[in-house]
Amino acid sequence: IATLLLGKPVADALTQRVAARVRLLREQGTVPGLAIVRVGDAPSDLSYERAALKRCEAVGIEACVVALPADVSQRELLDAIDQVNADNGIHGCLLLRPLPPHVDEAMACERLDPAKDVDGVTMASLAGVFSGRPVGFAPCTAEAVMRVLGHHQVPLDGANVTVVGRSLVVGRPVSALLQAKNATVTMCHSHTRDLAASCRAADVVVVAAGRPGLLGKEAVRAGQVVIDVGTNWDDEAGRLTGDVAFDEVAPLVSAITPVPRGVGSVTTAVLADHVVTAAERSAR
Ligand code: NAD
């Protein structure tokens, strides 16, 4: 059976380092601040918000929630983001997404000051991710994947890595971050002809497709490391599942992240790290 790559030790180690940096910042008179902007009250938003608030409290980040009604107008949303931008006590902003369909999400994301864009939603942040320049921040989930691989010392230099999913939140930024570590990256998506063959050919497989059970035993082989980013609510069973058919894949591969308790447990620690980095940059 595969080694379980749990998120908790990764998050714990990062959280400790972040907390030490917060103590230093506070000694120098800067209290790192995060604003969470939420529209409506979707259960997934509320659960991520709770986890983020808990993490902030644990490390000493001052967090506040800007809760807007589900029927908020575009104008009101942009005004709320403008207020966050103007507030010197707020170093980072998490805009919970997806936003309701009646608002222009791309416009809302671009409104955010890139210096406060701790979840990589602005074009400036994405340019930083793809150019390797220290502008803005990578999306927290994409970086969480890298933190899991790094913490567990999975070799990436020269490795073949297949990424399933090409969204701007996970798949594409992860591919850029992997290439920065000298991995040879293959991108797969919904039009890929032979997904199983591309996955079997890789040393490391990262799956972020949002399709429960997408990767089964036909897509893996012995010796592989499988990172499952999928978070899918199984409404019938009322539980969270990944994109990997865990029960049939885990016995075959060398290491795998579970869902829950895998990558998802690391994202709020990365978020806290980004807020503190933003605060350090602004204190300079
Ligand atoms: P998305 O819907 O934006 O993108 C999905 C991608 O998967 C697309 O590029 C699509 O081409 C690809 N895809 C879909 N079906 C496919 C198939 N049958 N074969 C191959 N590729 C296929 O989703 P997203 O926002 O990137 O999220 C992906 C998953 O990651 C979701 O389950 C989401 O819930 C999860 N996620 C988790 C976290 C977290 O852990 N905190 C954060 C963000 C996203």
How much distance in Å is there from the Cα of 24 to the middle of ligand 1?
Answer: 38
How much distance in Å is there from the Cα of 141 to the middle of ligand 1?
Answer: 11
C-beta neighbour count of 118 within 10 angstroms? 29
- Which ranges of the chain have pLDDT less than 50? none
Q: What is the pLDDT of residue 134?
A: 85
Residue that is last in its domain, among 87, 122, 157: 122
Specify the ligand 1 atom closest to the Cα of 166.
9
CATH code for the domain in which residue 236 is found = 3.40.50.720
Domain identity same for 100 and 145: no
Domain identity same for 244 and 159: yes
pLDDT tens digits, residue range 192-249? 999 999 999 999 999 999 999 999 999 999 999 999 999 998 767 778 999 999 999 9
Q: Residues near ligand 1 with C-beta < 6 Å?
A: 141, 164-167, 169-171, 188-190, 192, 195, 208-211, 214, 229-232, 263-264, 267
Domain identity same for 94 and 156: no
Domain identity same for 76 and 113: yes
Output the residue whose Cα is nearest ligand 1's atom 26. Answer: 167
Domain identity same for 38 and 94: yes
> Does a structural domain hold residue 68?
yes
Domain identity same for 77 and 105: yes
How much distance in Å is there from the Cα of 170 to the middle of ligand 1?
Answer: 7
Q: What is the pLDDT of residue 234?
A: 75
- Say if CB 253 and CB 242 are below 8 A apart: no
How much distance in Å is there from the Cα of 31 to the middle of ligand 1?
Answer: 35
Domain identity same for 151 and 177: yes
> Does a structural domain hold residue 1?
no
3 is in an annotated binding site: no
Output the residue whose Cα is nearest ligand 1's atom 41. Answer: 264
Output the residue whose Cα is nearest ligand 1's atom 4. Answer: 167
Output the residue whose Cα is nearest ligand 1's atom 17. Answer: 190
Domain identity same for 153 and 250: yes
Domain identity same for 113 and 205: no
Domain identity same for 158 and 53: no
Domain identity same for 145 and 256: yes
Our separate counts of H helices and E strands in the chain read 10, 11
Q: Where are the alpha helices (DSSP H) in 99-168?
A: 105-111, 123-131, 140-151
Q: What is the pLDDT of residue 238?
A: 76
Q: Which domain holds residue 61?
A: 30-122
pTM of the model: 0.97
b/e sequence 210-239, b meaning 16+ C-beta within 10 Å? eebbbbeeebbeeebbbbbbbbbeeeeeee
Output the residue whose Cα is nearest ligand 1's atom 34. Answer: 231
166 is in an annotated binding site: yes
Q: What is the pLDDT of residue 128?
A: 96
> Does a structural domain hold residue 245?
yes
Which of 121, 211, 227, 241 maximizes ligand 1 atoms within 8 Å of its Cβ, making it the mutation to test the pocket? Answer: 211
> Does a structural domain hold residue 15?
no
Instruction: Tally the domains of the chain.
Output: 2
ipTM: 0.97
Domain identity same for 95 and 195: no
CATH code for the domain in which residue 43 is found = 3.40.50.10860
